[in-house]
Structure 1
Amino acid sequence: MGITTAWAISAHDDTFIATLAPRLRPLIAAERAGPEAQERWDRWRRRPLPDHRTWWDHFVGHTSETVQDLESFLELTASGEHVQKMYDGLSSDDGFCLLPDVWEQVGDPDHLFVSVQSKEYAVRSLFHALGPDRAALLPGWCGNFLLTSAEVRETRPRVEAALGFTPQERAAAEDQDWLDYGEGEEGVLDGPLRMWRLAAEEGLGLCGVSVVVY
């Protein structure tokens, strides 16, 4: 049975970010501190993956180490069990849930970027397209983060460096982003940077979460 995932970045004022902090930040910290999390990250940084169109060939005919590198990256960039609880309403006794209590609180559609994917994770495609050095510039852990307005301004130069491209770099990144986009749909190479710029200019914080929605 397939899955549908969502990676969402929403902009909120600092008062709202403060209400989310005790709920979300411990979950992100738990993802980062998982027993295999850093091992998977370090493996990817040591041995970045090849062209995504060759991955099936690696699974069926290449060395076990290559297969292990790929499987490790797939696990690294899947949504984690801790943040997932916040979407499922299981992270607190009051049933606080991302969909009604965070995403549906965004009144301006420009204050939300969301990438919904079938049988895939948006963060996975973005990270592969960026490569580990650029992805390491992004705050949080594998697409999950919670930032005040001050932290948005502080991290903006790093995000600009990660997601700002020369024409040649942009073409290379697009070649490794395998997600399909409908007409007018904002892609993972564009939406996150737009959100950072918007939040920095409007004095807002940001909430990023990657989850399975069903």
Structure 2
Amino acid sequence: MGFTSAWAITSHPDSFISDLSPRLLTAMEADRTEPRAQQRWERWQKAPLPDRRTWYGSSGLTAADGAAVESFRELTAPGLNVDDMCCGTADPDFYVVDDVWTDQPAEGIFVSVNSKEYAVSSLFHAIGPARAALLPGWCGNLLLTSAQVRETLPCVERALAFTGAERSAAEAQDWLYYSPREESVLDGPLRLWRAAAENGLGLCGVAVHLS
């Protein structure tokens, strides 16, 4: 069964972040503290996945590695509570595409839309568990005030800044396709974080199923 997913990070004044808080923070925390999600996170932190180029092909994976890949995909898929909240299921008066993403200027949004893929999965596998643990929020979902954006920027820079060799290694593990007008998951989040910190803005990040 096919699906379309999207992960977006958008920048906003603190007043807008405050308006979003009652809807999103509870859903984000529910996804983060769900016991199976915590188990999947701990499993990935303890045992990083093999090179993605070994996931397919005639040789395939061992049963243990295959189970680890599936656990990771479930970990980094959109969380049920945020998905329901952002797509009108939990609150029919709120739809993230219309109420948060629409009319954002290019400099105020990073978005990755994919068919049968999850942007957060690709990013996290590309950077590995140690770097992913530096990123605020939970598996791509976050809601930060301008002060929190400034406070967390050094950690985000450590997570998403690369030497030439590190960049090549990360790109080899990022399986998403990018058109000439699209930003990589390795570039867009850090670009937006830095701009928000410079301009005194907060950030909203959500990963959802569009269909």
How high is the TM-score relative to the length of structure 1? 0.95
- When structure 1 is superposed on structure 2, of 80-89 and 127-136 the one drifting more is 80-89
CA distance in 2, matches of 1:182, 1:121: 16
Q: CA deviation at 1:86?
A: 2.1
Q: Does 1:66 align with 2:68?
A: no
Query: 1:129-178 CA distances to partner (integer Å, 9 max, x unpaired)?
Result: 00000000000000000000000000000000000001110111011111
Conserved in 1, the CA contact under 8 Å of 2:5 and 2:210? Answer: yes
1:196 corresponds to: 193
2:136 corresponds to: 139
Conserved in 1, the CA contact under 8 Å of 2:54 and 2:61? Answer: no
Conserved in 1, the CA contact under 8 Å of 2:9 and 2:204? Answer: yes
Q: Does 1:154 align with 2:179?
A: no
Closer, same or farther: CA 57–21 of 1 in aligned 2, 3 Å: same
Number of aligned pairs? 211
How high is the TM-score relative to the length of structure 2? 0.96
CA distance in 2, matches of 1:160, 1:58: 38
Q: CA deviation at 1:65?
A: 2.1
CA distance in 2, matches of 1:120, 1:19: 30
Coordinate RMSD, CA, aligned: 1.5
Conserved in 2, the CA contact under 8 Å of 1:152 and 1:199? Answer: yes
Using the aligned pairs only, state the percent identity: 58
Q: CA deviation at 1:105?
A: 4.9
User: What stretches of structure 2 of length at least 5 have no aligned partner?
Assistant: none
Conserved in 2, the CA contact under 8 Å of 1:137 and 1:159? Answer: yes
Matches within 5 A, 1:1-214: 1-56=1-56, 60=60, 62=62, 64-92=63-91, 95-106=93-104, 108-214=105-211
Conserved in 2, the CA contact under 8 Å of 1:86 and 1:96? Answer: yes
Closer, same or farther: CA 148–174 of 1 in aligned 2, 3 Å: same
Conserved in 2, the CA contact under 8 Å of 1:11 and 1:207? Answer: yes
CA distance in 2, matches of 1:131, 1:57: 22
CA distance in 2, matches of 1:201, 1:44: 33
CA distance in 2, matches of 1:6, 1:59: 31
Closer, same or farther: CA 30–166 of 1 in aligned 2, 3 Å: same
Query: 1:37-72 CA distances to partner (integer Å, 9 max, x unpaired)?
Result: 11100100111001101113599552x322221111
CA distance in 1, matches of 2:145, 2:42: 28
